[in-house]
Structure 1
Amino acid sequence: MTSSALASPTLNWPASLELKLALTQRGNRLIHNRHQGPLYVQKPFYPEGPDCAHLYLLHPPGGIVSGDELNIDIAQQSSGHALVTTPGAARVYKGRADQSTQAQHVNLHLEPNASIEWLPMETLIYPGSNSSLSQSVYLSENSQYLGWEIACLGLVDCQQPFTKGHYCQALKIYRNNRLKLHDRLVVAGSDEPQSLMHSPLALNGYPIHGLLVATADNFTTNELKVLREISEPFEQSAENQVGITQINDILIVRFLGQHSETCRQLFTQIWQHLRPLMINKVACAPRIWRT
């Protein structure tokens, strides 16, 4: 038996994806598509015409384990518009005893007058996982971004709370290379009342955490009023908390609750309202959401 046959198996499965889209005479086309490992896009879809590409990110393993690292880099050239989503929930599985990190890094680059919608399904953060999920958005003149992240800390339906593990989520938004927003949440799994998992200053005991961010220079104070009217039915339940903030040209919506479906319902309604204001198009839900 050779020494290679005796070698220990690989303990991680890194993957990367590079996409570039450009608005051409034939519409917004995927002009560069390179992947390494089990992470790819088969082809763009055009349910609302050739100028808006819908992209489905495919990761066949369905989740990441200790040592795994996913790197996603998407560039949209001038005046183009892309919507990016996933076919199902992502998973960050229970980590190994060595506490090696399970990571996903997303970089979105938007040239002038371009727009990207980042609308993935929720991410299930298993008890005992050690995750680092980050996203950086690089905006140019008049480019716009609308995106959300929904994290389920623990396995709610299986009554497995996030009592141990580590979760870090970070979002940075730049405009013309100047940092406009840096949002970061770091939580250690715990059942202690004074922990961030249970503190009223943090997650307040809710297992579902959602963050929606939209950037545009035509938001008015009336938009805050409309968004609060949309969120009011959700806030009437003790199972949910919703916060809405505007910082210059950035709208931020935060959700805490007991069910990821409720968060997706709220964020979808907000997306349906904001999309025509931002890109002058009515909301067109990706077909994959209906399967």
Structure 2
Amino acid sequence: MFDGVQHQRSFGSASVVFADGRLQHLWQSGSAKAMLPRTHRKAPEIVFLNTSGGLTAGDRLDYGVTVCAGMPVQATTQTAERAYRADGEAAQVQVRMTVGKGASLDWLPQETILFQGAALERVTEVDLDDDAHFLGVETIVLGRAAMGEVVTQASLGDRRIVRRNGRPLLVDPMRLDAGALSRGADAALWNGARAASVLLLVGRGADAALAPIRAALDQPGVSAAASARDGLLVVRAMASDGWPLRRQMIRLIEILRPGALPRVWQG
């Protein structure tokens, strides 16, 4: 009886530019907001927020961060992003980050939770100049374990692209659909996990962090591994619930950025 009903869609765009040690540009529209809380740290903090309360069919969300030469910046999200049932085209999320020569950006969003029937396509692009540094974390959680939710139908396309001076350093795609979820206990897939994270550290000396990071991959209930090559460290972790995985990611962030955990992560 609802055929032909025109459903309301949510659109939001927020971008921030830092240069010469201060904020140069702030743009926000629709459901996307960018807040700049006061901190006592050297690095300014950006907190992105989707005021629509979640993503569903046809929604569009764009975040952008530009950090010009020689400046450190941290960006995060106020809360977990939720992807709800999508009866139609997938929700679209685009994250674009540009980091200038000698600058650094920490992209530390909170978890993305996929609910039953969710459909989400997300692309995260990071463009680095000479000697720029990047730390990034992404976590996907399938439903809410405490509520007894089981996700058997969902679609996720999640792609990360990191470039240095226009040349790809890392292209990291993930595709999750009902077929993959039906084989979730397969060791080649999620091996029974309900949550998965990837952590990236890009920049000079990133491979030197491999030993202390591996030593910290001992959170109970979390299965994780780390690898590194010149200027790139990658950690992948899985757990049966989002909470132990969050604890593991917090420990890793604190090793790589002592005392710099976003305040919204500490609530």
Per-residue deviation, 1:191: 8.0
- Percent identity (aligned): 20
Q: Contact 1:191–1:198 at 8 Å: present in 2 too?
A: no
Per-residue deviation, 1:140: 0.5
| CA–CA separation in structure 1 for the residues paired with 2:195 and 2:164 | 29
Unaligned runs of 5+ in 2: none
Equivalent position to 2:113, from 124, 129, 132: 124
TM-score, length of structure 1 as denominator length: 0.85
Per-residue deviation, 1:220: 4.4
Change (3 A) 1:137 1:241: same
Per-residue deviation, 1:174: 0.1
Give 3-state SS (helix, strand or coil) of 2:216's partner.
Answer: helix
Partner in structure 2 of residue 286 of structure 1 = 262
Partner in structure 2 of residue 37 of structure 1 = 30
Does 2:248 align with 1:261? no
How many residues align? The count is 264
Change (3 A) 1:81 1:94: same
Change (3 A) 1:66 1:159: same
Per-residue deviation, 1:9: 4.8
| CA–CA separation in structure 2 for the residues paired with 1:192 and 1:12 | 27
Post-superposition Cα deviations, 1:212-239, rounded to whole Å, max 9, x if no partner, equal 0001221345x322211111x22xx4x3
For residue 284 of structure 1, what is the amino acid of its counterpart? A
For residue 168 of structure 1, what is the amino acid of its counterpart? G
Which sits farther off after the overlay, 197-206 or 30-39?
197-206
Partner in structure 1 of residue 224 of structure 2 = 242
Alignment RMSD (CA, Å): 1.9
Alignment of 1:50-129 (within 5 A): 51-96=42-87, 98=88, 100-129=89-118
Q: Which has the higher strand share?
A: 2
Change (3 A) 1:43 1:240: closer
CA radius of gyration, larger in: 1
Per-residue deviation, 1:290: 3.3
Unaligned runs of 5+ in 1: 1-6, 276-281
TM-score, length of structure 2 as denominator length: 0.92
Does 2:199 align with 1:208? no
Segments ≥4 residues shifted beyond 4 Å: 7-10, 190-193
Give 3-state SS (helix, strand or coil) of 1:67's partner.
Answer: coil
For residue 192 of structure 2, what is the amino acid of its counterpart? G
| CA–CA separation in structure 2 for the residues paired with 1:285 and 1:225 | 21
Q: Contact 2:10–2:52 at 8 Å: present in 1 too?
A: no
